[in-house]
Amino acid sequence: MGTANLCTLYERVRAFTHSLTDTKLNLTNLELHEIPDDVAELLSKDNAGSRLTHLDLSHNTLSSIPATLLNSIPNLRILFCSSNVFKTLPDLRTVSSLFMVSFRSNLFSGELGVQQLPSTVGWLILTDNQITALPENFGTHLPRVRKLMLANNQLTTLPPLLAESGLNDNLELIRLSNNKFEQIPECLLHFSKLSWLGLGGNPCTASSIQSLSELDQSLRVDVNDYVLETLPSLGTGASGNVYLAMARGAYVHTKNTQSNIHSEEDDEKAVIDSTHKDAVAIKLFKGELTSDGHVLDEVQTAVALRNVEGLIPVHAYVGADNGAGAGLVMSLIRDMHSLGDPPSFASVTRDVYPGAKRFDTIEQARRFLLCISGVAKEIHALKHTHGDLYAHNILYSSSTNESYLTDMGAAFPYKDDRIELLEVRAFGCLIEEMCDQCDAYDTDKDVRDALLALAKECMGADLSARPRFSVVAERLSKF
């Protein structure tokens, strides 16, 4: 670690200790090979460390965390150690309040050892490692895990009795994309609360591709055939950015009514008219792997489901055969916004809804839910699951009551019909949340009660007793 980074380290620690209100300490991107012992001493002074609830050590070269540091921060709830060189989990058992732990993109391999974690952990992120197995006692040692991220590892199976542990009452979301599963682990179909499953890019999702050359080549285009605005004004996320764009020929025509002269410099300062009929949205992925799996799988799914009404229409795809530089050319959806925000640290698996209520009446919510259930019915009729059925992945217009289900990053094809019933539970959660998002003065109690009763059925612990989306859509149409 250079002198400048060392100075920055101490500046950040001292700023935290001098604050009376800060609860988060950011020590990212400091080229740390180790954490100096006196950091713990600084945090112990005046008991400042007891205020720390969120520590971020990501993007360093750490392989351990001193016990003295952990002892000085007894109330830590969130620990981020992504993009380091840990080979095993450090001993975190003394941090008895720990809830969220991330060791994404480290050097874990072989069977994951979990004895070093306290049983309080409810959100565990181990994406982008080389883990080959979970220990048999995973569920008994970590029974409170609600959200488990294991995409981009080397897993071939899960402990058979995982769903018979305390984990059965808590696990709601699991990401297993881009591993080595030959079969869908049977235990996944026995968790009473599992609602959001990602499993694409495994041998058990047999239609996964190895190259974009395996897709319909008539839908393949070169991104250079389009002019993109410099900034991703339509959205940015963990997997990619979405740009306002236009086919080059159409763009040149709008800018040069008397001349076809157009330069690269023009592209760099391009301003696209979003109201133009030829304007489109282009999603460009940041890399070949995302937190949900491999971009090849998202592109494949988007192409396979491109004609499903209620999904954003996909016109073409771009990128190298291996997925590098991959992207999707989609219809531009105007005057619509995400219905909710992604789950927070506090809500864990449930979306959050800042600001005003989303619906004026419960009838408006019912019509919206009918639309989304219809989209889900069509997706599952094609033997695909969305895997991330959340309000934050739905674009909605309150003025027209139109909606689109977006983001196919966690979607995958399946053969076992029980997979649909996992997503039905996610829809039950959505029903509950939409009922909460209705104006409190709406008095249509019968419809509200019917919706909540349907939500209860969708979220029932017995998978086989849940209604399928065809039944859900039919019932919503008759309330």
E strand or H helix that includes residue 327? strand 327-331
CATH number of domain containing 416: 1.10.510.10
Residues 324 and 342 in one domain: no
**Residues 6 or more apart from 218 whose CB is under 8 A from it?**
none
Q: What is the domain count for the chain?
A: 3
Query: What pLDDT does 263 receive?
Result: 46
**Residues 6 or more apart from 173 whose CB is under 8 A from it?**
146, 147, 148, 194, 195, 196, 197, 349
Q: In sequence order, what DSSP letters do the residues of 152-194 get, joined into one string?
A: SS------TTGGGSGGGGT--EEE--SS--SS--GGGGG-SS-
- Where among 288, 314, 331 does a domain terminate? 331
Per-residue confidence at 4, pLDDT binned at 50, 70, 90? confident
| 174: phi then psi, degrees, rounded to nearest 5 | -140, 135
Residue 289 located in a structural domain: yes
As a whole number of angstroms, the distance between CA 76 and CA 361 comes to 42
Query: What pLDDT does 399 receive?
Result: 87
Rounded to an integer, the average pLDDT of 70-76 is 97
- Where among 296, 331, 366 does a domain terminate? 331
pLDDT in tens, 304-315: 999 999 999 999
E strand or H helix that includes residue 282? strand 279-285
Query: What pLDDT does 52 receive?
Result: 98
* Pair 109, 130: CB distance under 8 Å: yes
pLDDT in tens, 337-357: 999 999 999 999 999 999 999
Least confident of 22-36, 157-171, 198-212, 361-375: 198-212
Range of the domain at 378: 337-476
Residue 316 located in a structural domain: yes
Query: What pLDDT does 432 receive?
Result: 98
Residues 97 and 136 in one domain: yes
Residue 205 located in a structural domain: no
Query: What pLDDT does 269 receive?
Result: 65
CATH number of domain containing 305: 3.30.200.20
Residues 78 and 99 in one domain: yes
pLDDT in tens, 386-411: 999 999 999 999 888 899 999 998 99
Residue 392 located in a structural domain: yes
How far, rounded to the nearest angstrom, does the alpha carbon of residue 440 sit from its chain's CA centroid? Answer: 31
Residues 310 and 284 in one domain: yes
pLDDT in tens, 235-291: 887 788 999 999 998 877 666 544 443 445 455 567 888 889 999 999 999 888 888
Residue 204 located in a structural domain: no
Residue 206 located in a structural domain: no
User: What's the whole-number average pLDDT of the chain?
Assistant: 92
Residue 355 located in a structural domain: yes
Residues 253 and 294 in one domain: yes
Residues 105 and 24 in one domain: yes
Residues 289 and 351 in one domain: no
Residue 102 located in a structural domain: yes
pLDDT in tens, 416-454: 999 999 999 999 999 999 999 998 777 788 999 999 999
Instruction: State what percent of residues in the chain have pLDDT above 70.
Output: 95
pLDDT in tens, 177-227: 999 999 999 999 999 999 999 999 899 986 667 788 888 899 999 999 999
CATH number of domain containing 38: 3.80.10.10
Residues 91 and 239 in one domain: no
As a whole number of angstroms, the distance between CA 12 and CA 240 comes to 30
pTM tops 0.85, yes or no? yes
Per-residue confidence at 21, pLDDT binned at 50, 70, 90? very high
Residues 138 and 56 in one domain: yes
Residues 389 and 416 in one domain: yes
Query: What pLDDT does 291 receive?
Result: 81
The residue type of 199 is L
Query: What pLDDT does 259 receive?
Result: 40
Query: What pLDDT does 212 receive?
Result: 86
Residues 159 and 292 in one domain: no
- Where among 331, 351, 373 does a domain terminate? 331
Residues 372 and 231 in one domain: no
